[in-house]
Chain A
Amino acid sequence: ILNVEQSPQSLHVQEGDSTNFTCSFPSSNFYALHWYRWETAKSPEALFVMTLNGDEKKKGRISATLNTKEGYSYLYIKGSQPEDSATYLCAFSSGYSTLTFGKGTMLLVSP
């Protein structure tokens, strides 16, 4: 069983704060690293799929970086808004078939 760790487990910030989360994954047999946003009572939705070491992806105020050699990825949210409140999941793939998910970081943004 592959070990994918996310930290922190939960985070409570004020509107306008910037924040970041970490995802650690095995540095061997890397295929892809996914980030998903999961709102309560909804399904997870993809934010980014990252495949190359040094990759940096951005979607609005959210961005992510990838270091496959040391096995970590960071997700950044700039100027958090209440609508950013959700659980953020990362998932590691060592091949096409399967994703191994971390336990997620639960973000709460207060107005």
Chain B
Amino acid sequence: NAGVTQTPKFQVLKTGQSMTLQCAQDMNHEYMSWYRQDPGMGLRLIHYSVGAGITDQGEVPNGYNVSRSTTEDFPLRLLSAAPSQTSVYFCASTGWGQNTEAFFGQGTRLTVV
């Protein structure tokens, strides 16, 4: 039972490099989201999607792009990495219904030097 699969687990980038964080879920969830977690801060929403072909910005979207071509996949792209994007990133998915919980991926620790 895979749940939410997020890769890579660790990544070091140089300033200006681009990369894609992968997120896939096998629970047929419509809603997927990306969060970043920084020391002293809660989980902050970067982008989210309520279904294939639909994405929207969260609280801290600058510097990131997303797309949702299938229900299963929701990749997060860093276009030109900056040291301020050093963080731990979590992908999450949620099913329909008021009582449904979010399921999180294993997290990606990203360092931009």
Interface positions of A (Cβ within 8 A of B)? 1, 4, 31-32, 34, 36, 42-46, 49, 51, 89, 91, 96-104
Contact = CB atoms under 8 A, between A and B. Distances in A.
Contacts of A34: 101-102
B58 interface: yes
B106 A43 contact: yes
Interface in B3-34: 31, 33
Interface of B: 31, 33, 35, 40-45, 48, 50, 56, 58-59, 90, 96, 98-107
Contact of B104 (A1, A43, A49, A97): A43
Contacts, number: 57
5 contacts: A31-B98, A43-B107, A91-B102, A101-B44, A104-B42
Contact of B31 (A1, A32, A97): A97
Given A1-B59, A51-B98, A43 B50 contact: no
B107 A103 contact: no
A97 B54 CA distance: 12
Nearest to B104: A43
Contacts of A104: 42
B50 to A, nearest CB: 6
Contact of A101 (B43, B101, B107): B43
Contact of A96 (B31, B43, B56): B31
A80 B58 CA distance: 36
A31 B58 CA distance: 18
Given A34-B102, A44-B90, A46-B102, A97 B42 contact: no
Contacts of A89: 42-43
Contacts of B107: 43
Given A1-B59, A97-B48, A98-B48, A46 B101 contact: yes
B99 to A, nearest CB: 5
A95 B45 CA distance: 15
